[in-house]
Chain A
Amino acid sequence: MSRWRLSGWKTATGRFEALLACVLVIEILVFSKTGTNFATLGNLFEILRLSTEIGLLALVMTPIILTGGIDLSVGSLLGLCAILFGKLWRDAGLPPVAAGAATLVIGAAAGGLNALLITRLRLPPLIVTLGTFSLFRGLAEAVTRGVDNFTDFPKSFLFLGQGYLFGGVPAQTPILAIVAVGLWLLVHRTTYGRAFRAIGFAPEGARYAGIPVHRRLALVYVLAGVISAVAALVYVARVGQAKADAGTGYELFAITAVVLGGASIFGGTGTIHGTLLGVAALSVLKVGLTLSDQPGELAGILTGALLLLALAGDAMFRRLDARRVAPATISQP
Chain B
Amino acid sequence: MLKRHFREWAVAATLGALLLLLALRAPAFFQRAQLLSMLSGAAPVLVATCGAALVIISRQIDISIGSQFAWCSVLLGLVIHASWPLPLALLATVTAGALFGAFNGLMVAGFGLPSIVVTLATMVTWRQGLGWWREGEFVRDLPDRFQWFGLGQAGGEALILGSAAVVLVGMALAMKHLGLGRWVYAVGSDAEAARLSGIPPRWVTFGVFVLNGALTGLAALLNAVRFTDVDPKTGTGLELQAIAAAVVGGVAIAGGRGNLWGALAGVLLLVCVGPALVFLHLPPQWEKALQGAIILLAVAADGWRRAKGKD
Q: Report which A residues bind B (CB closer than 8 A).
A: 70, 117, 120-124, 126-128, 130-139, 141-142, 144-146, 252, 255-256, 259, 265-266, 295, 297-301, 303-305, 307-308, 311-312, 315, 327-333
Contact = CB atoms under 8 A, between A and B. Distances in A.
Contact of B113 (A137, A141, A299, A315): A315
B114 A135 contact: no
B209 to A, nearest CB: 11
Contacts of B286: 138, 142
Nearest to B127: A300
Contacts of B124: 252, 256, 300-301, 303-304, 307
Most chain B CB within 10 A, of A138, A297, A303, A315, is at A297
B59 A333 contact: yes
Nearest to A253: B124
B207 interface: no
A332 B252 CA distance: 14
A304 B253 contact: no
9 contacts: A121-B307, A130-B243, A138-B286, A142-B289, A256-B124, A259-B117, A307-B121, A312-B111, A330-B187
Interface of B: 59-61, 107-109, 111-118, 120-129, 131-132, 135, 187, 191-192, 195, 201-202, 205, 240, 243-244, 247, 253-255, 283, 285-293, 295-296, 299-300, 302-304, 306-307
B166 to A, nearest CB: 29
A134 B121 CA distance: 22
A144 B127 CA distance: 29
Given A134-B240, A265-B117, A332-B114, 16 more contacts: A121-B304, A131-B244, A142-B286, A145-B283, A145-B285, A252-B124, A259-B120, A295-B132, A305-B125, A311-B113, A315-B112, A330-B187, A330-B191, A330-B201, A332-B115, A333-B60
B115 to A, nearest CB: 6
A311 B118 contact: yes
A142 B126 CA distance: 31
B40 to A, nearest CB: 24
Contact of B288 (A120, A134, A145, A299): A134
B127 to A, nearest CB: 7
Contact of B289 (A134, A265, A330, A332): A134
Contacts of A120: 303
A329 B190 CA distance: 10
A30 B132 CA distance: 21
A96 B195 CA distance: 60
Nearest to A113: B296
A300 B303 contact: no
B295 A134 contact: yes
Contacts of A138: 286-292
Nearest to A295: B132
A138 B240 CA distance: 14
A47 to B, nearest CB: 20
A51 B81 CA distance: 42
Given A121-B303, A127-B299, A134 B292 contact: yes
Contacts of A315: 111-113
B285 A127 contact: no
Contacts of B295: 127, 130-131, 134-135
A239 to B, nearest CB: 21
Q: Which of A70, A121, A141, A256 has the most CB of B within 10 A?
A: A121
Contact of A330 (B109, B121, B304): B109
B277 to A, nearest CB: 11
B249 to A, nearest CB: 13
A123 B303 CA distance: 6
Contacts of B113: 308, 311-312, 315, 331
A138 B244 CA distance: 15
Contacts of A137: 288-289, 292
Contact of A304 (B125, B287, B291): B125
Contacts of A328: 112, 195, 202
Contacts of A265: 114, 116-117
Which of B61, B255, B295 has the most A CB atoms < 10 Å from its CB?
B295
Nearest to B243: A130
B293 A330 contact: no
Contacts of B289: 134-135, 137-139, 141-142
A300 B286 CA distance: 31
A252 B123 CA distance: 10
Which 8 A-B pairs have CB atoms at the shortest separation, nearest pair first?
Answer: A138-B289, A121-B303, A135-B292, A300-B128, A138-B288, A304-B125, A134-B292, A131-B295
A300 to B, nearest CB: 3
A297 B61 contact: no
Contacts of B115: 331-333
B128 A332 contact: no
A143 B117 CA distance: 33
A301 B132 contact: yes
A284 to B, nearest CB: 17
A126 B255 CA distance: 13
Nearest to B112: A331
Contacts of A252: 120, 123-124
Contacts of B302: 121, 123
